[in-house]
Structure 1
Amino acid sequence: MPTFDIVSELDKHELQNALDQANKEVTTRYDFKGTDSAFELKGTTVTMKTQSDFQLDQMFDILVQKANRRGIDIKCMERKNTDVQLKTAKEDIEMKEGLDAPLAKKIIKAIKDSKLKVQAANQGDSIRVTGKKRDDLQQVMQMLKGMEDLELPLQFNNFRD
């Protein structure tokens, strides 16, 4: 029986490349001269450091632009912990990955409501979809790609006949 897995993964190598490009742009831009602005990556958290709140917004725009070019969906970025003091501003951006329980339930419910002849099972950080026909599985993929209210980007792995 054909199967595939639904996952939400972050390509850390591409994220590092996007941050390197963003750091390079920040160091060469005139409006950031002498500000010691930089992006740092620790685990799945990106930290932006600069001098003002306005520059944090500009840095976030640069990061979004570079991440889009590298194929990273901005749905996985969540801005948190803005700390603005007298001459320093710092903000953390959490890069979300993995399917949490509420999102997995929402996806499984959408698959069951579609009335296609497939079964969906939660397997921790992924959802396994099984069906008798390959066409049914492809319809599930198209339906999930068309859903706009999902908080995370989805990838489809391990398609097997």
Structure 2
Amino acid sequence: SDASIELEEKCIKLAAEDEYKLNAIIDMLRARMAKRDIPLRCLELGKVEPASKGTVRQTLTILQGIPKEKAKAIVAAIKATKLKVNAQMQDDQVRVSGAKKDDLQAVIQTLKAGDFGVDLQFINMR
């Protein structure tokens, strides 16, 4: 079968003979991502487009960081906890600082309980 996967900057271009084979490639890609502990939510599937000679293609966008509107929702959720922490948006991440370790851990538990549509990673910087 004639199928191809091309990795570019922030997208993956798939091409296959038909939609069935295209879906098989996507399933294989997701299985490999799961094996490497890469969150599956970081892929955004594009529309399936017809290509030349009866083939189909699809573009998968790789999402990195937190979009602005979701970062605002995360900051609002942190402020709603009324804990003495400071949350601020920095580029594609949300930075939370506070004096007490217990407050920061409570914020982490609150964010893990909520669903913001993105996979969150927590990095402890000292």
TM-score with structure 1 setting the length: 0.72
Give 2:83's aligned residue: 116
Q: Which fold has the larger relative contact order, with Cα–Cα distance below 8 Å and residues 6 or more apart in sequence?
A: 1
Superposition pairs of residues 10-159 of structure 1, within 5 angstroms: 35-85=1-51, 86-148=53-115, 150-159=116-125
Distance 2:112 2:7 in 1: 29
2:4, 2:46 → 1: CA distance? Answer: 17
The answer to whether the 8 Å contact 1:53/1:84 transfers is: no
Identity among equivalent pairs (%) = 34
Are the counterparts in 2 of residues 49 and 56 from structure 1 also a CA contact under 8 Å?
Answer: yes
1:38-62 superposed Cα distances (whole Å, 9 cap, x missing partner): 2211011011111001111111111
- With normalisation by structure 2, the TM-score equals 0.90
**Partner Cα distance (2:125, 2:101) in 1:** 9
Q: Greater CA deviation, 121-130 or 100-109?
A: 121-130
How far apart in 1 are the matches of 2:61 and 2:70? 17
CA shift for structure 1 position 112 = 0.7
Structure 2 unaligned regions, length at least 5 = none
Equivalents in 2 of 1:38, 1:142: separation in Å? 42
- Deviation of residue 127 (structure 1)? 1.6
Number of the residue aligned with 1:3:
none
Q: Which runs of 5+ in 1 are unaligned?
A: 1-34
Q: Is the 8 A contact 1:76 1:151 kept in 2?
A: no
Aligned pairs, how many?
A: 125
1:95-138 deviation line (CA, Å, top 9, x unaligned): 11122210110000000111222110112222221111011111
Distance, in Å, in 2 between the alignment partners of 1:108 and 1:132 is: 18
Deviation, structure 1 residue 158: 4.4
